[in-house]
A = this chain, B = another copy of it.
Amino acid sequence: MVKKTGRPGYLQIADELRERIRGGLLAPGEPLPSTAQLAEQFDASLSVVKMAVGILRNEGLVVGQQGKGVFVQEDGQPEQDSDLRTEVTALRSAVQDLTRRLEQVEAALPAADPKTRN
């Protein structure tokens, strides 16, 4: 980690990973190194690495899959101004749709056993 620039470590790491992705060093679909590996690479604690990854996750640059890893998002960077409005509209309707479906299914559940896993 890094320079004593006063810039917080978790931001520096997020910057670096963002750079690696944009630069193609980490291709879409590829997994990032594990949290522990990153912590060692950057000589930082697990917490700051998790914070850094959380930022990228929040940005949609990366998707975490529990138990497997964190993967570079396939879908590129739409996120341009004109696309933003479009995406807002699409997301808003998606939320409404999902909410409706969820409520239906949840209502159709009497008191099902939550242990019902495969």
Q: Is the interface of A mostly helix, strand, loop or mixed?
A: helix
Contact A108 B112 (CB under 8 A): yes
Q: Contact at A108–B102, with CB atoms within 8 Å? A: no
- For A54, give the chain B residue with the smallest CB separation: B51
Query: Residue on B with the closest CB to A85?
Result: B84
Q: Which of A93, A94, A102, A107 has the most CB of B within 10 A?
A: A102
Copies in the complex: 2
Residue of B nearest to A109 (CB): B105
Residues of chain A having any CB pair with chain B under 8 Å: 55, 58, 60, 79, 81, 84-85, 87-89, 91-95, 98-99, 101-102, 104-109, 112-114, 116-118
26 A-B residue pairs with CB within 8 Å: A55-B58, A58-B58, A58-B89, A60-B92, A81-B81, A84-B85, A84-B88, A88-B88, A88-B91, A91-B91, A91-B92, A91-B95, A94-B95, A95-B98, A98-B98, A98-B99, A104-B116, A105-B106, A105-B109, A105-B116, A107-B118, A108-B112, A108-B114, A109-B109, A109-B112, A112-B112
